Structure 1
Amino acid sequence: MGYTLIQKDFYRESGQWLSSFEIWKKCINPNLHFIYVLRKAQKYYNKPVLGEFWKFVLRHYQIKYGYQIYPETEIGEGFYLGHWGSLVINPKVKIGKNCNIAQGVTIGQQNRGKLQGFPTISDEVWIGANAVIVGGITVGSNVLIAPNSYINFDVPANSVVMGNPGTIYPNERATEAYINHKV
């Protein structure tokens, strides 16, 4: 059976494949509710009536829950928001599959310098609370970014990054037990 993008996102939370009704029941959780609305806004983004409806609904929940994530942001399947609260992701950022993002994170644009641009986050990246990731950089797969880290440089795959400025520590098991229920 082919699962929908929303089902894959919700699978990350529980490790169970859910029906549409079961997904609605889980929408009492603000994180999951926001992901549901975001995915609907992404799905209907270029549709005249449904697109405007879902963008309006998304804007309401951006304000209510404190998430600045936009429908044009490319986000892979298995997206997981670990905690409710302030989160800013530039619309031009690209995020791979099975990524976890905690509260207080900023993933944004750098306006000048050699790394001017927007980050690309690869698959299976865990981003801890209050981390800041900026610039035209790439974060490789299987990377754990520790809470309160500042990243404005490329991060190789299979790494843990800590601190401000961030320091890279190679680790083949960087996200083991941090990213669960992969799709």
Structure 2
Amino acid sequence: MRKNIIKQYILEDFYRYYGEETNKKTYLRYAYTYPNIAFTRNLRLAKYYKNKNKIKYIWYKLRHRKLFYKYSFQIPFETTIGRGFYLAHFGNIIINQGSIIGNNVSIAQGVTIGKTNRGENAGCPTIGDNVWIGANAVIVGKINIGNNVLIAPLSYVNFDIPSNSIVIGNPAKIIPRENATEGYIENAIKI
């Protein structure tokens, strides 16, 4: 990954929060003071520098680890995360490093995206593009979440979800719906 691409990813993450082109001063102010932006920035930079610059890698890895514990974002930088990643609130978000997250994904507080160690769905989830995951939702196992999916708060998902769906409840129920995330995915980046 080239350096200008990682800068683009970081700016796209930032765009998801504020939706407008900002100057460097505004970006830097939020990048160091707003927990969600600071965390995702350090997550992306630690991943970028891992095999490129040992000193910068160690610096960003340590910053990532500090924010990991300070804000309770348990998202390892090895996790595959697409463009326009949005953490709606900080606190108690857990994502297994084997998970794959698509573009324009919004995650609320208390969400767990985890691994199942046994059974036919042993493994980690793959989440598509334009997915909104509500507070305290749990997504586990080697399952596929399609594009344009809204996962309601407190839902437990351990099976594949088709695109253009709303998922609600425990056990989860699927409600087919075109434009399921309309109004939920704010400031989506163009993919």
Overall identity of the aligned pairs, in %: 50
Residue 4 (structure 1) aligned to one of 1, 8, 22: 8
- What is the aligned counterpart of 2:45 among 31, 34, 40? 40
* Match for residue 170 of structure 1 among 176, 180, 185: 176
- In the superposition, the TM-score normalised over structure 1's length comes to 0.96
In the alignment, the residues of structure 1 paired with residue 152 and residue 47 of structure 2 have an alpha-carbon distance, to the nearest angstrom, of 29
Once the two structures are TM-superposed, the CA of residue 125 in structure 1 deviates from its matched residue by 0.3
Q: Quote the residue 1:22 is aligned against.
A: 26
Matched, 1:75 2:81: yes
Cα-Cα RMSD: 1.4
- Aligned-pair CA distance for 1:35: 1.3
| TM-score, normalised with respect to structure 2 | 0.92
The residue that corresponds to 1:136 in the other structure is 142
Whichever residue aligns with residue 149 of structure 1, its letter is S
Q: Which residue of 1 aligns with 2:167?
A: 161
Question: What is the aligned partner in structure 2 of residue 60 from structure 1?
Answer: 66
Matches within 5 A, 1:71-150: 71-150=77-156
Deviation at 1:38, TM superposition (A): 1.2
Q: How many residues align?
A: 183
1:7/1:17 contact within 8 Å kept:
no
Letter in 2 for 1:24: L
Unaligned ranges ≥5, structure 2: none
Q: Identify unmatched segments of 5+ residues in structure 1.
A: none
Write the deviation string for residues 59-81 of structure 1: whole angstroms up to 9, x where unpaired: 00000000001111010110000
Deviates more, 1:44-53 or 1:80-89: 44-53
